[in-house]
């Protein structure tokens, strides 16, 4: 089901407004066509996978890929909103760590699973709101604000947890990662749900449309009567909320809340957004591209694990892919006047 | 006259567009050769071919008697062609001297010799009649006119034999224009050639030697005498039809209902501004660049914070410094800088048009895939935006059509107050007439209009009432019928110039 959701989201993911005479031409020119390069890379990786490891094409392995994509995927949804809106959020990984720690203290856990979930979402949203207020109303550049948030969130998470991993004792939260519906892990459904909601908000609401406008030309958006500052602040709240969701997912998967969670997630998320075709300067991009970017990275990791290769080589490969993807996109853009 | 540059049969195609389709051009040594054409006629593409930024698909270039090709901007630069673009391409954070020698820094053993650069710059600025510009001043702190002088100095520092100027007077006031013309005359006297592009036909008459007219990517007439060719003939060549670009007179007097009231408004650059606009009335603000006219309009709109005074729409005072409040009250602004302040260049026409009214096409915040394209199509048809395709990216439209898109936005939003800052800047003659007719039509439907323009005939032709702004004060208010161009010019320039 989750795979279907992702796939069926693609045809509609056209960011160019419906020009095509038929839905089919729209599918190819807009959604898939936009991300054709990434689909090709994924296909290539699949071929390499099948050729090098017998276990690659098994259902179990494909579900492993999706499960490990789910947490960074949820964070990437929030990062896509922020980047299309012309900003950047470096604090995502540590905001998630802070939310995981806060939601798994002995005190929070004593109130039960719902309070733990609410706590994680509230911590994420509050961190995002503070980012947003400082950027939009304090007029400090996003890079600096969210870098500061990354550092402080790390510190606060260490302070609350005493630098220890907090074990998740609540059975409901612990069960999220182990539950399967129709053979597919619940984490994958959560990931799919966040992507679906994100896609609808970005492409089918005034909020999404205004995000593109503000990222594309903030001055024009302001002079058209949009409340650019309030909207900018809201984008960081969206990113923070995604961190809150991811915090519950990672707490369940690792059965711990820890300040060491999410290290360098911000770079993975930004890299996925960029290779997904979103302009780092804002105003243009697709959520489907970002998700394909996450899947590319996760599949590479999977291939390296299956073939018992070192992570250092893996990182070199990831870096090369980022450069190659951006080169291809730049060339594609230049060919249109 | 010996020929410096000969262009024959240049063709340049982009995917889906034939931008140049047989362009001929002859530039003689020491002449000012004017290039005329509507937006989209191919002037910009031609300049880029001359500057080595585009490679032509066919055609020949002859430079100083020899066939040449400019495979890169560097090659054109080395041959002696310098281009001064509309958007000046100086580095704002570097000094005047550093900009002048940029890419050709005098150096010894790899160390730049700033003192040599400054001496060279001082000499060039003196030659250009601007010894008052300090070579060490940061370029970003100079006025638009000052920056233009620096661009010319840079061209001279590279020993350019041909300088291409793309709408150089768009950001200059009359004094600065006069100064620029003096510089151009001195350059041509020294044998430098100038290719001069402008929408202002009067300027071409004043400064030009010969005129070449482009239409739809091809040369339709070349080497016309700039001073003696009748205006009507030039317009006919540019548009392909005889065009009446006169402004239609108002058919009825404005109503009595006061829609917009500005009372004792003050901001950082102006103070004590009061005026009212009735339904169906057009109020014009005449003034030089820097007089405060744009700041006044932007403050009325809430884009700048007022330090004193009130703005009322239909009797209700607006919160100061809030564009959202002004838009809710029914105001719309077509800003001075269309590309940087008005448009989402990457987005489609439909999305540009619907921006302020987006909520209307949504249900509980949700939008259908093409929620607004029907409404956009209707308003585009009313304004004759070409091509009439709401899904087309707005950056592919010509300047005149882009301006219509900004107007369409407020037409769709449908407020009662329209503020237009330089509505015809960078707009070709044909579209200009359509925009005038549209402004008139909106006024007749009861919209209160405020027009800011540097072109005095435009203000006089459109406005019922004219406010003359000088140094941040309204120095004169009168019905347009009681004023003429000379009188407004005197008021605009101030007593010292009378």
Residue A14 included in any domain:
no
Residue A295 token pair: 């899947």
Residue A227 included in any domain:
yes
* B359 in contact with chain A, both atoms CB, cutoff 8 A: yes
* B67 in contact with chain A, both atoms CB, cutoff 8 A: no
DSSP letters, A3-25, are: HHHHHHHTTT---S-S--SSHHH
A chain contacts of residue B304, beta-carbon cutoff 8 Å: none
pLDDT at residue A44, rounded to an integer: 87
Contact (CB, 8 A) for B457 and B492? no
pLDDT at residue B427, rounded to an integer: 78
For residue A186, CA distances in Å to A76, A140, A191, A193, A269 come to 19, 39, 9, 10, 22
Residue B88: pLDDT band by 50, 70, 90 thresholds? Answer: low
Residue A11 included in any domain:
no
Residue B272 token pair: 């004590």
**DSSP code, position B482:** G
Distance from CA of A155 to the nearest CA of B (A): 38
Nearest residue in chain B measured CA to CA from A215: B344
pLDDT at residue B370, rounded to an integer: 80
pLDDT at residue A244, rounded to an integer: 97
d(CA B68, CA B44): 20
Q: What is the pTM of this model?
A: 0.76
Q: Tell me if B358 and A337 make a contact (CB, 8 A cut-off).
A: no
A chain contacts of residue B324, beta-carbon cutoff 8 Å: 225-227
Below-50 pLDDT ranges, chain A: 1-32, 336-337
Residue A309 token pair: 């290769």
Strands B331-334 and A180-181, bridge-based pairing: unpaired
Contact (CB, 8 A) for B379 and B410? no
* B105 in contact with chain A, both atoms CB, cutoff 8 A: no
Chain mean position to CA B449 = 21
Task: Give residue-wise pLDDT tens across range B108-124.
Answer: 777 778 888 899 999 99
B chain contacts of residue A200, beta-carbon cutoff 8 Å: 366
Rg of chain A taking only CA atoms, in angstroms: 20
pLDDT at residue B494, rounded to an integer: 64
* B4 in contact with chain A, both atoms CB, cutoff 8 A: no
Q: Tell me if A204 and B369 make a contact (CB, 8 A cut-off).
A: yes
Q: Is-cis flag, bond preceding A53, omega within 30?
A: no
pLDDT at residue A260, rounded to an integer: 93
* B344 in contact with chain A, both atoms CB, cutoff 8 A: yes
Distance from CA of B348 to the nearest CA of A (A): 7
**DSSP code, position A234:** H
For residue A241, CA distances in Å to A81, A246, A260, A266, B179 come to 12, 9, 19, 15, 59
B chain contacts of residue A209, beta-carbon cutoff 8 Å: 351, 358, 367
d(CA B107, CA B117): 9
Residue A2 included in any domain:
no
A chain contacts of residue B303, beta-carbon cutoff 8 Å: 222-223
Give the closest of B19, B344, B389 to A220, CB-based.
Answer: B344
Distance from CA of B301 to the nearest CA of A (A): 9
Residue A88 included in any domain:
yes
Average pLDDT over residues B144-170: 86
Residue A277, exposed/middle/buried by CB under 10 A (0-12, 13-18, 19+)?
Answer: buried
Of A172, A170, A185, A154, give the one whose Cα is nearest residue A258: A154
Supply the mean pLDDT for chain B.
86
Task: Give residue-wise pLDDT tens across range B254-267.
Answer: 888 899 999 999 99
Residue A12 included in any domain:
no
Residue A25 included in any domain:
no
A122 phi-psi bin (left φ>0, alpha ψ -120 to 50, beta other): alpha
Could you tell me the sign of the dihedral formed by the alpha carbons of B99, B100, B105, B111, in that order? negative
Which of A9, A14, A225 is the best residue to mutate to test the B interface, defined by the most B CB atoms within 10 Å of its own CB? A225
Of residues B416 and B253, more confidently modeled: B416
Nearest residue in chain A measured CA to CA from B54: A337
List residues of chain A with CB under 8 Å from any CB of chain B.
Answer: 12, 16-19, 200, 204-207, 209-210, 212-213, 216-217, 219-227, 283-284, 335-337
Strands B465-470 and B282-286, bridge-based pairing: parallel
* B374 in contact with chain A, both atoms CB, cutoff 8 A: no
Judge if ipTM > 0.90: no
Give the closest of B333, B335, B365 to A205, CB-based.
Answer: B365
Distance from CA of B400 to the nearest CA of A (A): 18
The CATH number that applies at residue A143 is 1.10.3470
Give the closest of A219, A225, A337 to B356, CB-based.
Answer: A225
Number of domains chain A contains: 1
Distance from CA of B342 to the nearest CA of A (A): 5
Nearest residue in chain A measured CA to CA from B406: A224
A chain contacts of residue B355, beta-carbon cutoff 8 Å: 213, 220-221, 224, 226
For residue B375, CA distances in Å to B351, B357, B359, B408, B441 come to 11, 11, 13, 10, 20
Domain enclosing residue A127, as ranges: 30-335
Give the closest of A200, A216, A221 to B346, CB-based.
Answer: A216
Of B282, B308, B297, give the one whose Cα is nearest residue B337: B297
d(CA A237, CA A87): 13
pLDDT at residue B325, rounded to an integer: 92
Length of chain A equals 337
Q: Tell me if B396 and A337 make a contact (CB, 8 A cut-off).
A: yes
Residue A16 included in any domain:
no
Q: Tell me if A209 and B356 make a contact (CB, 8 A cut-off).
A: no
């Amino acid at each position: 089901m989750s795979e279907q959701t992702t796939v069926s989201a693609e045809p509609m993911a056209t960011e160019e407004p419906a020009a095509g005479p038929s839905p089919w031409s729209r599918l190819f020119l807009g959604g898939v066509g936009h991300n054709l390069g990434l689909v090709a890379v994924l296909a290539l990786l699949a071929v390499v996978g099948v050729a090098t490891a017998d276990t690659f094409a098994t259902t179990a392995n494909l579900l492993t890929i999706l499960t490990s994509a789910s947490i960074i995927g949820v964070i990437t949804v929030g990062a896509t909103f922020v980047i299309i809106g012309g900003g950047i959020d470096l604090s995502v990984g540590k905001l998630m760590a802070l939310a995981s720690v806060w939601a798994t203290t002995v005190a929070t856990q004593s109130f039960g699973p719902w309070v733990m979930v609410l706590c994680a979402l509230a911590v994420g949203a509050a961190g995002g709101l503070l980012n947003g207020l400082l950027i939009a109303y304090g007029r400090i550049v996003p890079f600096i604000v969210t870098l500061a948030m990354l550092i402080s969130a790390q510190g606060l998470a260490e302070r609350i947890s005493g630098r220890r991993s907090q074990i998740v004792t609540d059975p409901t939260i612990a069960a999220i990662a182990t539950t399967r519906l129709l053979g597919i892990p619940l984490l994958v459904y959560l990931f799919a749900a966040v992507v679906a909601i994100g896609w609808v908000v970005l492409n089918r609401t005034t909020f999404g449309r205004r995000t593109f406008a503000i990222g594309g030309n903030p001055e024009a958006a302001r002079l058209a009567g949009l409340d650019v500052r309030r909207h900018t602040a809201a984008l960081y709240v969206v990113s923070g909320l995604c961190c809150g969701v991811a915090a519950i997912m990672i707490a369940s998967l690792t059965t711990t809340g820890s300040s060491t969670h999410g290290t360098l997630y911000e770079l993975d998320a930004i890299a996925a957004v960029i290779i997904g075709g979103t302009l780092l300067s804002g105003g243009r991009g697709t959520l489907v591209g970002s998700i394909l970017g996450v899947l590319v990275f996760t599949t590479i990791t999977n291939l390296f694990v299956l073939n018992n290769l070192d992570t250092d080589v893996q990182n070199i490969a990831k870096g090369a892919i980022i450069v190659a993807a951006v080169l291809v996109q730049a060339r594609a853009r230049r060919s249109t006047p | 006259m010996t020929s410096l540059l000969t262009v024959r049969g240049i063709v340049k195609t982009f995917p889906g567009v034939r931008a140049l389709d047989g362009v001929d051009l002859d530039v003689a040594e020491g002449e000012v050769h004017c290039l005329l054409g509507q937006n989209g006629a191919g002037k910009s593409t031609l300049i880029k071919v001359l500057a080595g930024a585009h490679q032509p698909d066919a055609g020949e270039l002859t430079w100083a008697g020899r066939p040449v090709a400019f495979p890169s901007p560097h090659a054109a630069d080395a041959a002696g062609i310098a281009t001064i673009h509309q958007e000046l391409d100086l580095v704002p954070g570097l000094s005047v001297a550093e900009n002048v020698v940029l890419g050709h820094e005098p150096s010894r053993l790899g160390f730049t010799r700033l003192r040599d650069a400054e001496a060279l710059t001082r000499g060039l600025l003196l030659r250009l009649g601007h010894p008052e510009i300090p070579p060490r001043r940061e370029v970003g702190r100079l006025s638009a006119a000052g920056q233009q002088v620096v661009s010319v100095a840079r061209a001279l520092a590279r020993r350019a034999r041909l300088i291409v100027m793309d709408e150089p007077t768009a950001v200059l006031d009359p004094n600065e224009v006069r100064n620029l013309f003096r510089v151009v005359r001195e350059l041509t006297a020294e044998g430098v050639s100038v290719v001069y592009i402008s929408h202002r036909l009067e300027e071409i008459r004043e400064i030009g030697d010969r005129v070449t007219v482009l239409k739809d990517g091809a040369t339709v007439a070349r080497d016309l005498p700039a001073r003696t060719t009748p205006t009507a003939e030039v317009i006919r060549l540019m548009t392909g039809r005889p065009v009446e670009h006169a402004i239609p007179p108002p058919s009825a007097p404005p109503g009595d209902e006061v829609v917009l009231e500005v009372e004792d408004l003050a901001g950082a650059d102006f103070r004590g501004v009061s005026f009212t606009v009735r339904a169906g009335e057009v109020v014009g603000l005449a003034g030089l660049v820097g007089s405060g006219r744009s700041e006044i309009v932007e403050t009325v709109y809430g884009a700048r914070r007022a330090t004193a005074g009130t703005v009322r729409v239909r009797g209700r005072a607006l919160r100061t410094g809030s564009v959202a409040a002004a838009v809710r009250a029914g105001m719309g602004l077509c800003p001075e800088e269309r590309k940087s302040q008005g448009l989402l260049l990457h987005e489609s026409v439909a999305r540009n048009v619907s921006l302020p009214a987006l909520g209307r096409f949504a249900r509980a915040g949700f939008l259908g895939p093409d929620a607004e394209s029907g409404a956009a199509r209707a308003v585009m048809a009313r304004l004759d935006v070409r091509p009439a395709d709401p899904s087309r990216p707005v950056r592919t439209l010509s300047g005149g059509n882009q301006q219509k898109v900004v107007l369409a936005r407020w037409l769709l939003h449908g407020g009662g107050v329209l503020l237009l800052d330089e509505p015809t800047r960078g707009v070709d003659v044909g579209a200009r007439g359509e925009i005038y007719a549209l402004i008139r039509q909106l006024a007749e439907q009861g919209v209160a209009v405020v027009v800011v323009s540097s072109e005095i005939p435009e203000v006089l032709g459109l406005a019922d009432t004219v406010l003359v702004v000088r140094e941040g004060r309204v120095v004169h208010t009168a019905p347009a019928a009681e004023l003429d161009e000379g009188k407004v010019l005197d008021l605009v320039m101030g007593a010292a110039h009378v």
